[in-house]
C-alpha cells in the first residue's frame, strides 16, 4: 500500500509501521492498553474495488502484527458483497468490548456524505454499542486514503475536525435521550483520549450538549410536555445563556395577530404559547435573521384525524423543530458572545400548541388570519404545522427581517431519512444552508421549488388554502404555501419530517429523536451574526 494508491480507506494510525518498517514504541503500548481495557479502538479497512484487495490485506496484516504483542483478540469479516471490504474488530481482554467503526469508502456525486459525516456516523455506532466506553485516538491520526507522508503535520486542522466528528457521534450514540438524572447520563458518556494530549473543544462540547438537550426534550412524553411546559424549558435554556426571552399567551397572541396558532390550539385545554428569543444588536435598524420553528407538542391530526397508530405514535416529536431552533440560537449566542458584526441580530419565533380534538377544535373550512392580515383557508386540520409557521414567517416579514429560516416536521416527502429537505426562494441562501449542513454534520438537501405549485393552493374564500384538495399533499406544497408568506424576503424552509425522529435505527443512529436541524441552523445563525451575507 503506497502513499498514492487512493484505494484503501481506513482510520489512519501513524503509530503503525510503514510498509516494510519496524514497529514503533507506541504500537505495543497501544496494544497493551487495549488488552487491559484502558483504551478502546475501532478500526475500519475498506477497499473500493476488487483490484485493491492486496492493499487491503497488507493493511490488515500490519494492524494485526502491531497488536499481537498486547494480546488483543481480533475478528475479521466481510462487510460487502464480493469481499471487497472487511473490517477488523478488536476485542479487549479487559472489561470493555471494542466495536467495529466502519468508515465507508468515499462516494462521489450528489448527496454523497463527506469524510466528517462518515466519521460522525461511525461514532454513533461506537457510542451505541459501547456506552460509557473510552474512545482512543492515537497521536496524529486522521482518516485518509493512504499512509501519511513526511509532512503529515500540515493536516493538523483536518485531524482536529475529524477526531471531534468521531467523538461527537460517539457522545450522541452513547447518550440515552430518555429522561434520567445527570449521573445516569454521565455513566453513559463516551470519554475521549487523544494521544497528543489535546482536549475536545468547548465548541464541540456545547454542540453535543445542545443536541442532547433537543433529543431529551423531543422524547418527553406528551402528557408531561404541553405548550406551557415547553415554553418554560426554552426559557430556562435561554436564561442560562443570557439570551433575551419573551413568552406570549392569551390576548397577547391575538393582539399580535397569531390567529393560526390560536386556531390550531383551540381544541386543547392547554393554551398555546409563542416564544420569542433575541440575540445580537439592539439597534432599531439591525439586519435580522428570523428563525421560525414549529412546536406542536402533540398532533392527533385534529378533526382530520390521523388514520392509524403508526402515524400518531411519534407525534410527541412534532415539537422537535422548536426545540432545535431554540438550541441553535443559544449555540450561536454562545459562539459569538460579544464578537458580533455591527448591526446583526437573530430572532426566533416559536409557536407552541397542541392539535387535538374537542368541541372547540378548528374545523375544515375555517379561515384564520396571520400577522399583517393575510388569511388562510383550513382545508386540512392535519396540515397544522404550516399554519403556525406561516404565523411566524408573516411576523418576521412584517418586522422587516432581512432573511427568514423556518423548520418543521411537516412531510415525509423531503429528502429521506438521512438529510433534511430544503426549499428556498433564493438560490444563494439554499447553497449557504447546504454548506452549513456539511460543516455542522447535520446534512440537508436542496430541492427545487417548482413554478406553478401555488395554483393547487388557490382559495375562493381566503388568500390561500393550507393544502391541495385535488392531489396528494407533498413537501413542495408545504414549501410553496410557506414561501408565499415570505414574499420577496430571502427565505429557506427545512423539512425535518423524515429526520427529526427515526422509527427504526439508521446508519448507526438509534431509533427515536435525533436532534436534526439543530446544528445546521446554529451554523447559519452564527455565520449571520459574524457578518456573512448568506444571500450573496
pLDDT tens across 261-289, in order? 999 999 999 999 999 999 999 988 899 99
User: pLDDT band for position 11 (50/70/90)?
Assistant: very low
Rounded mean pLDDT, 22-35: 41
Residue 482 has pLDDT above 60, yes or no: yes
Instruction: State which of 281-290, 376-385, 410-419, 507-516 shows the largest mean pLDDT.
Output: 376-385
- Closest-CA residue to 196 (of 140, 135, 150, 144): 140
Percent of the chain with pLDDT over 70: 66
Contact at 8 Å (CB) between 210 and 331? yes
* CA distances (Å), origin 280, targets 60, 206, 240, 333, 345: 53, 19, 16, 8, 4
pLDDT of residue 340: 87
Angle (CA) 302 303 309, round 5°: 65
pLDDT greater than 50 at residue 88: no
Q: How far apart are CA 60 and CA 282, in angstroms?
A: 59
| pLDDT tens by residue, 359-403 | 999 999 999 999 999 999 999 999 999 999 999 999 999 999 999
What integer pLDDT is reported at residue 113 of this predicted model?
A: 54
Taking residues 237-245, what's their average pLDDT? 97
Structural domains of the chain, ranges and CATH numbers in brackets: 8-200 (no CATH), 209-299+314-358+378-529 (3.40.630.10)
Helices (H), 246-367: 251-255, 259-264, 309-312, 320-336
Mean pLDDT of 463-484: 92
| Arithmetic mean of pLDDT over the chain | 78
CA 116 – CA 120 distance, rounded (Å) = 6
E strands of 83-242, at which residues? Answer: 85-91, 134-137, 142-144, 191-194
Q: What b/e readout covers 411-435, taking b as 16+ CB neighbours within 10 angstroms?
A: bebbbebbbbbbbbbbeebbbbbbe
Give the pLDDT of residue 211: 94
In angstroms, rounded to a whole number, what is the distance separating the alpha carbons of residues 164 and 344? 29
Instruction: Report the chain's C-alpha Rg in angstroms.
Output: 25
SS3 letters for 404-454? EEEEECCCCCCCCCCCEEEEECCHHHHHHHHHHHHHHCCCEEECCCCCCHH
Confidence band of 461 (pLDDT split at 50, 70, 90): very high
- Tell me, what's the pLDDT at 413? 61
Q: Is the pLDDT of residue 37 over 50?
A: no
Annotation marks residue 53 as catalytic? no
What's the rounded Cα separation, in Å, for the pair 405 and 346?
11
- Are 23 and 53 contacting, i.e. CB atoms less than 8 angstroms apart? no
Cell numbers placing 468: 391541495
> Is 316 marked active-site?
no
Can you tell me the mean pLDDT for 214-229?
97
The enclosing H or E element of 523 equals helix 518-529
Which segment, 111-120, 137-146, 307-316, is predicted with the most confidence on average?
A: 307-316
CB 398 within 8 A of CB 372: yes
- Residues 31 and 25: their CA atoms lie apart, in Å, by 11
Q: Cα–Cα distances in Å, from 437 out to 422, 444, 476?
A: 11, 6, 20
Q: Which of 306, 431, 438, 530 is catalytic?
A: 306
DSSP output for 458-511: --SSSSEESS-SSS---HHHHHHHHHHHHTTS-EEEEE-TTTSEESS-BTTBPS
pLDDT (tens digit, 9 = 90+) per residue, 164-211? 777 778 777 777 776 565 556 666 666 666 656 667 788 888 998 999
Name 372's Cβ contacts closer than 8 Å, sequence gap at least 6: 257, 394, 395, 397, 398
- Name the most confidently modeled range: 7-21, 45-59, 177-191: 177-191
DSSP letter for 256, please.
T
Q: Which of 118, 159, 386, 397 is catalytic?
A: 386
Give me 153's grid cell.
Answer: 503535520
Report the C-alpha gap between 93 and 33 in whole angstroms: 10
Residue predicted with more confidence, 20 or 106: 106
Residue 103 and residue 120: Cα distance in Å, rounded? 9
Amino acid at each position: 500500500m503506497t502513499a498514492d494508491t487512493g484505494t484503501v480507506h481506513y482510520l489512519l494510525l501513524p503509530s503503525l509501521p510503514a510498509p516494510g518498517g519496524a514497529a514503533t514504541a507506541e504500537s505495543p503500548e497501544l496494544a497493551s492498553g487495549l488488552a487491559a481495557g484502558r483504551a478502546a479502538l475501532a478500526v475500519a479497512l475498506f477497499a473500493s474495488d476488487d483490484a485493491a484487495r492486496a492493499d487491503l490485506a497488507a493493511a490488515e496484516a500490519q494492524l494485526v502484527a502491531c497488536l499481537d504483542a498486547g494480546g488483543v483478540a481480533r475478528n475479521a469479516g466481510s462487510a460487502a458483497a464480493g469481499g471487497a471490504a472487511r473490517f477488523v474488530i478488536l476485542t479487549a481482554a479487559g472489561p470493555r468490548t471494542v466495536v467495529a467503526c466502519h468508515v465507508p469508502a468515499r462516494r462521489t456525486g450528489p448527496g454523497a456524505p463527506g469524510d466528517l459525516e462518515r466519521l460522525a456516523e461511525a461514532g454513533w455506532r461506537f457510542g451505541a454499542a459501547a456506552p460509557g466506553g473510552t474512545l482512543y485516538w492515537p497521536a496524529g491520526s486522521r482518516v485518509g486514503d493512504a499512509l501519511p507522508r513526511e509532512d503529515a503535520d500540515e493536516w493538523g486542522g483536518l485531524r482536529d475536525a475529524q477526531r471531534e466528528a468521531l467523538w461527537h457521534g460517539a457522545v450522541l450514540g452513547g447518550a440515552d435521550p430518555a429522561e434520567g438524572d445527570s449521573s445516569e447520563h454521565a455513566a453513559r458518556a463516551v470519554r475521549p483520549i487523544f494521544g497528543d494530549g489535546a482536549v475536545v473543544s468547548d465548541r464541540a462540547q456545547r454542540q453535543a450538549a445542545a443536541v442532547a438537550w433537543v433529543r431529551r426534550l423531543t422524547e418527553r412524553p406528551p402528557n408531561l410536555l404541553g405548550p406551557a411546559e415547553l415554553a418554560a424549558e426554552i426559557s430556562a435554556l435561554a436564561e442560562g445563556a443570557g439570551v433575551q426571552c419573551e413568552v406570549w399567551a392569551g390576548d397577547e397572541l391575538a393582539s399580535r395577530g397569531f390567529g393560526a396558532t390560536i386556531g390550531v390550539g383551540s381544541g386543547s385545554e392547554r393554551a398555546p404559547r409563542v416564544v420569542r428569543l433575541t440575540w445580537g444588536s439592539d439597534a432599531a435598524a439591525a439586519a435580522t435573521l428570523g428563525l421560525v420553528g414549529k412546536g406542536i407538542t402533540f398532533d392527533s391530526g385534529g378533526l382530520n384525524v390521523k388514520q392509524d397508530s403508526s402515524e400518531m405514535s411519534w407525534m410527541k416529536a412534532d415539537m422537535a423543530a422548536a426545540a432545535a431552533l431554540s438550541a441553535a440560537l443559544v449555540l450561536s449566542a454562545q459562539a459569538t458572545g460579544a464578537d458580533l458584526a455591527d448591526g446583526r441580530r437573530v430572532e426566533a419565533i416559536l409557536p407552541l400548541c397542541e392539535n387535538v380534538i374537542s368541541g372547540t377544535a378548528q374545523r375544515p373550512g375555517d379561515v384564520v388570519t396571520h400577522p399583517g392580515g393575510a388569511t388562510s383557508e383550513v382545508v386540512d386540520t392535519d396540515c397544522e404545522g404550516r399554519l403556525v409557521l406561516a404565523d411566524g414567517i408573516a411576523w418576521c416579514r412584517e418586522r422587516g427581517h432581512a432573511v427568514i429560516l423556518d423548520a418543521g416536521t411537516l412531510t415525509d416527502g423531503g429528502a429521506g431519512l438521512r438529510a433534511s429537505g430544503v426549499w428556498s426562494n433564493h438560490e444563494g441562501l439554499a447553497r449557504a444552508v447546504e454548506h452549513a449542513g456539511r460543516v455542522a454534520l447535520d446534512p440537508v438537501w436542496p430541492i427545487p421549488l417548482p413554478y406553478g405549485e401555488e395554483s393547487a393552493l388557490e382559495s375562493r374564500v381566503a388568500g390561500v388554502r393550507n393544502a391541495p384538495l385535488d392531489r396528494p399533499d407533498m413537501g413542495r406544497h408545504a414549501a410553496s404555501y410557506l414561501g408565499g408568506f415570505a414574499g420577496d424576503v430571502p427565505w429557506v424552509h427545512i423539512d425535518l419530517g423524515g429526520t427529526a425522529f427515526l422509527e427504526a435505527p439508521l446508519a448507526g443512529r438509534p431509533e427515536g429523536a435525533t436532534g436534526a436541524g439543530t446544528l445546521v441552523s446554529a451554523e447559519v445563525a452564527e455565520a449571520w451574526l459574524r457578518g456573512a451575507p448568506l444571500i450573496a
